[in-house]
Structure 1
Amino acid sequence: MTTHIRIRKFNTKETYPNQKLDNDLCQAVRAGNTIYVRGQVGTDFDGKLVGLGDPAAQAEQAMKNVQQLLEEAGSDMSHIVKTTTYITDPRYREAVYQVTGKWLKGVFPISTGLVVQGLGQPEWLMEIDVIAVVPDE
């Protein structure tokens, strides 16, 4: 019996060749009817950064990633229950939240926002992770 499904497995030595890492991770995990999505940034699934220096463009790409991962896990954006958003500068808040707010219009998740000193790569200006559910059939 499978208790969880790991979506888009990867190893950090391929994902972050500029760092000496060797960790097995995945982009999302579906455990029962709950989906946990790893922090998404302005990088597409091919590793290309979208929006260098542009927090809104990075937020747009991050939300596209979230949407795709939720669909692969059997859900969609309307079933997000919690978000955590990280920004590296408080001046990015408005730009990032305008984008995430557009994607989450009418969803009403609970939300936590944090200003942090930095993220995993210096060019990343924002990151968002989400928890969602798979609706009952």
Structure 2
Amino acid sequence: MPTHTRIRMFNTKETYPNQSLDNDLCQAVVAGNTVYVRGQIGTDFDGKLIGLGDPQAQAEQAMKNIKQLLEEAGSDLSHIVKTTTYITDPRFREPVYRETGKWLKGVFPISTGLVVSGLAQPEWLVEIDVIAVIPE
């Protein structure tokens, strides 16, 4: 019996054609009643970047992705227990956190925020990963 379920598996050859990578990954993993969601950025699941140069729009798309992945895993945004948010400029904190706050109003997760020198692609301004539970 499997100990976990992988959601939306992919290979980096297809998702990052501008890089010479060949890694098998997935967007989320369900282990027991816990859902671990891979860092989500401003790119939709068709590979289109939403919000070039706009951290708020990228955060909105990341949250749309997170919502969809959690639902596919049998959970939802109200069951998020931890968020980690990476931004590439400290000035992005307010627009990004205002946006994520809209999606997580009343949820009260623990949260870590980091300013990093860059993300995997130069046009990405924000990345958000979450851990959630699946209710009994």
Provide, for residues 75-127 of structure 1, a one-character-per-residue CA deviation record: whole Å limited to 9, x for no partner: 00000000000000000000000000000000000000000000000000000
Question: Does 2:114 match 1:114?
Answer: yes
The 1-side partners of 2:120 and 2:102 are apart by: 26
Paired letter, 2:90: P
Q: Which residue does the alignment assign to 1:79?
A: 79
Q: Which residue does the alignment assign to 1:61?
A: 61
Aligned to 1:107, the other structure's residue is in SS state: coil
Aligned to 1:49, the other structure's residue is in SS state: coil
Provide, for residues 42-62 of structure 1, a one-character-per-residue CA deviation record: whole Å limited to 9, x for no partner: 000010000000000000000
Q: Which residue does the alignment assign to 1:130?
A: 130
Aligned to 2:5, the other structure's residue is in SS state: strand
Deviation at 1:37, TM superposition (A): 0.1
The 2-side partners of 1:112 and 1:75 are apart by: 21
Aligned to 2:95, the other structure's residue is in SS state: helix
Q: Which residue does the alignment assign to 2:27?
A: 27
Q: Which runs of 5+ in 2 are unaligned?
A: none
Aligned to 1:17, the other structure's residue is in SS state: coil
**TM-score normalised by the chain length of structure 1:** 0.99
Aligned to 1:56, the other structure's residue is in SS state: helix
**TM-score normalised by the chain length of structure 2:** 1.00
Aligned to 2:6, the other structure's residue is in SS state: strand
The 2-side partners of 1:39 and 1:65 are apart by: 10
Paired letter, 1:48: K
Query: 1:11-50, aligned counterparts within 5 Å?
Result: 11-50=11-50
Paired letter, 1:31: A
Paired letter, 1:116: V
Number of residue pairs the alignment of both structures matches: 136
Deviation at 1:2, TM superposition (A): 1.6
